[in-house]
Structure 1
């Protein structure tokens, strides 16, 4: 086996690919010669990224789009079918789509906030994983990379709902890695710290729902520069490549040392 990051000829499905880390990942995979399905809730963003991919190497990159809410089983099935029917199979799944909460403490989380965050951040990756598994196993070199968060490693990086959702995604990563490690599938995750993406810039915080010092504590722990989406994408592509062939069940912090605090 050649332990390189080359992924030429492989087929990938990236969720939340219309912006931020997902966009950066889709573009980097395309530059590696990967056929990419750009899946996103926002049709305009998905089409914009698809156009960017088409421009790689004078239009030589192959891209398809799938638009919809990936917590809906029908949309999940359509996303996987887009890759399988369009590319003849699936080798890489990047579960990246996610939304932030309102930094609410447990006693202040509404049913609506809880259900929305868990549905998008945890249920959707599970549904995507379950639907993609037969095709990833059939490829013989399948890889899943989940985007969790520093909030999946500690209790102080976000509100209750988001923190629980990302801890759950860590559990999904490790459980799936163990269950399928002898069947040619690897499952890993990245845990970004603060990253300059729409998830951060569009974050809405409910001051009334915050415990004492929550925001100041978040800022203190995240002292230093925000990461760039391209930096997280590079880690995702590495984990999906043969260079990471013996890496399985790992949650890799990409956080400028936040996890070391």
Structure 2
């Protein structure tokens, strides 16, 4: 009589027991020796992930980079955008710090990266989110000629971005008017007035409103009469210039 062998259930039970033992072994190993599985990891101010850091102009922003899961000393490198930051010898191994002071408007959007010197793929970054009220600049336009076109350029910076508008003599402009054209980029809010009239003369305010404050920049527009080079006075002015060059005038 043939001796019966182990059935399917016996093999399945043995497989489950082996899988359980293997799982517990790996879990135990990862607890005792995490670096052997995860490898070194970097953290800035105890956070091991790329992120934005909000701050304001004039403040101090300390950044501390540390190595986790390491089995030996690791040399660290700091970058500001693509440029290397100079570090003192005692501020390189396993932990390194730097301080951004004073924070400025120009630092908005700038990234600081800490990485391993031996492996540039191991790194972590923070990007500065510098919050500041609107800053407006611009120049008054030259004397405008009637029926010509005039452009007012208002340059604006703000974080968060500001809501922009134009006013004339303290009254909000109705930009639906076909004589007004608006051109808007991240840093330019431009008003173009087509076919200006003398009644367009006045003070134009570029207004920027954000959660951090409100600012405006005033532009003075003066519209003069249309030049007519064919007028009799224009011809006489030209004749006077010729007489000054070549002789005297007999006109009394």
What TM-score does the superposition give when structure 1 sets the normalisation length? 0.22
Ranked by relative contact order (alpha carbons within 8 Å, sequence separation 6 or more), the top structure is: 1
Task: Point out the structure with the larger strand share.
Answer: 2
Answer with 1 or 2: which has the greater Rg.
2
